[in-house]
Structure 1
Amino acid sequence: MQEITPDNSLFKNQLFGHPTGLFVLFFTEMWERFSYYGMRAILTLYLVSKTTEANSGLGWSNTEALELYGWYTMFVYLMSIPGGYIADKFIGQKKSVLVGGILLVIGHGILAYTEMWAFYTGLVLIVLGVGMLKPNISTMVGSLYKKGDLRRDKGFTIFYIGINIGSFLASIIVGYVGEVIGWHYGFGLAGIGMLLGLLVYYFGQPYLQNVGNFIGDSTSKEDKELLNKPLTKIEKDRIIVLFISFLLVIVFWGAYEQAGGLLNLYALEKTNRMFMGMEVPASWFQSLSALFIIIIGTAVARYWAKRKLKGKNASSIFKMLV
């Protein structure tokens, strides 16, 4: 398959030593994660809040709330598969991100309404939107750099820090608005965040040029012949390692996503949240993970960059474990 390389003009547009397009994608994804993690921060809390409270929720049991949260989260991750396929085979990453962003704005906007049809419709649209946007915007980040560019790993780290900035701000801002002012105001605020990200992406197109465009069937004759050849022992071993890494990632994210469900309810019901005469919103506890990543991630990125310059670059699997 032919390698998708960015237009040469991309390398003339630099900001802080990286392609300007990186920061377009940085802020797009930051606001997308603001919307996603903001909604996630208050979803289960909204589900279990009593209907008789001033800020009334749906009055579900913990079991019912966690069951819906589990199904919702599972479909969010599963939709990345068809989302990536649609981008690769039909419309390209660039248009997929745009479509995903539009679906997310509509989905979060519908959640601002109080009717049950709006609640379920909003969840479905968010699942579809994340599936279209999330896997493809990350691919576009990699396409901003030429093969072998030493800045590529650092670029992904910057991008990842943007994700966690969005997550941190969402837990604090959307969490407060949802718990204190009103759940549906929180859902609506998450939608405004995604709208900002969509605007950044739309007006930042000149800095993305040919990155993420659909190029049709780019499989060369040599690549097609290579696909029919049997795998060597080294290639088989690499595939085994790849599958092991998949299992590790599944376990990690399965545990990580408990933050929006089980741990969220634990913070609500089992913790003393009084601080200086103020009751801290339960959703604020979800900001801690993102805060640690922002602080530690910067230091780790510098460490990997120094190792790479010395010719001691670690494997991708080892970096994932760290």
Structure 2
Amino acid sequence: MKNMISYSAEVQEAIDQKKPIVALESTIISHGMPYPQNVETAREVEQIVRDHGAVPATIALMDGRIKIGLSEEELELLGNSPDVAKVSRRDIGQLLATKKIGATTVAATMICAELAGIRVFATGGIGGVHRGAETTMDISADLEELSNTGVAVVCAGAKSILDIGLTLEYLETKGVPVIGYQTVEMPAFYTRHSDFPLSYGSDSTEELARILKAQWTLGLKGGAVIANPIPAEHALDKAFIDEIIEQAMSEAQANGISGKEVTPFLLGKVKELTEGKSLVANIELVKHNAKVGAQLAAAYQIL
């Protein structure tokens, strides 16, 4: 297995010196934002992690290896290549064997982070149960991974194009803690509010670290969702974004869009209908999650 994982010099030094590390996914770079904002955001996010006391480890699959930490050139390649594969659990073996470039989703990033001994992962939002899943069975692999893999995911909740209520029910069934950071309501990505209460919230990353430590010391399997709302000054109005998502859903249905094509269509349509405001919000919430992720990793490291 050691031959299939490689570390950047910065990450290897952090491991050797027992510095806190924050995993970062790479689908945000390859599939989540247009070029060049994707690469610029990736660099900014990495620097935010450094500025708040941790070492960033952006994860991707390249040259038949899991890369834990990427160079400037590798970030550019991910952001500007047209044929980067989107990698979840089922795709890892294939991508490594064929030595193709792959960008890791939340699920795949969690797997790779755990293999590397990294406990904290900062991203934008988790996947979840899609609207209409009672007939389509469209449920993100992120949720199953959260029930199996011991990594805490700092995110701005679930993407608001999803069925957030069913997503929370699924996570509860799987025994995954969903802890609000300075909130007791599940955030909904672009907006701070979803109208779905959480059973627990915490006001400090130190307390969050103690919760995670207790869970994993007991040998309880799985990770945790740290639900961190987008900063108020960058949040979109809930009624505004809800109306736009309904319009985007109607257009997807009218155009016969289904399966794995739904999410990219909806996100693209939301960006169009918000006149780019959703992209700005996306970038800001990722930066905020990186900051909180770094603080959490630093707090966990000293326990």
TM-score norm. by structure 2 comes to: 0.28
Give the number of the structure whose alpha-carbon radius of gyration is greater.
1
Greater helix content: 1
Higher RCO (CA 8 Å, separation ≥ 6 residues): 1
Greater strand content: 2
